[in-house]
């Protein structure tokens, strides 16, 4: 399970970096979203990846840490998802305003010459 999650994080981070380096603003927005999802998945995986186990310690089993999943990374990821949606919405509004003012969607403001 850890290998699948780490491969997913690596693919999302790599695709996000590649899209951030593209010249169009919508591609940059999608790249930033992919990077934030990769970081959220990484933070979520730090809490421990376990299947069919309770998220909190059972009474009497406090010394056995195999039955424990840390809830702090889960709450951090939930907060990061909400903040990510808000910043994506703000970036979309700025992108639409930029496109309306400049007439293009390139990051540097100049069109590519064919």
Domain count of the fold of the chain: 1
Kind and range of the H or E run holding 8 = helix 2-20
Domain annotation covers residue 56: no
Mean pLDDT over 43-67 rounds to 66
pLDDT digits (tens, 9 = 90+) for 69-111: 677 888 888 999 999 999 999 989 988 888 888 777 777 766 6
Could you tell me the residue range of the domain that residue 80 belongs to?
2-50+66-102
pLDDT digits (tens, 9 = 90+) for 42-53: 988 887 666 666
pLDDT digits (tens, 9 = 90+) for 28-43: 899 999 999 999 999 8
% pLDDT > 70, the chain: 75
Coil, helix or strand for 106? Answer: strand
Q: The domain that contains 82 carries what CATH number?
A: 1.10.287
């Amino acid at each position: 399970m850890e290998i699948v999650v780490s491969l997913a994080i690596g693919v999302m981070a790599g695709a996000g970096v590649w899209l951030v380096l593209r010249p169009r603003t919508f591609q940059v927005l999608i790249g930033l979203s992919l990077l934030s999802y990769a970081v959220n998945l990484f933070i979520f995986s730090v809490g421990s990846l376990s299947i069919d186990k309770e998220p909190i310690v059972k009474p009497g089993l406090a010394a056995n840490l195999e039955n424990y999943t840390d809830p702090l990374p889960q709450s951090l990821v939930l907060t990061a998802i909400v903040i990510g949606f808000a910043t994506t919405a703000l970036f979309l509004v700025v992108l639409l305003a930029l496109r309306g003012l400049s007439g293009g969607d390139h990051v540097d403001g100049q069109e590519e010459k064919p």
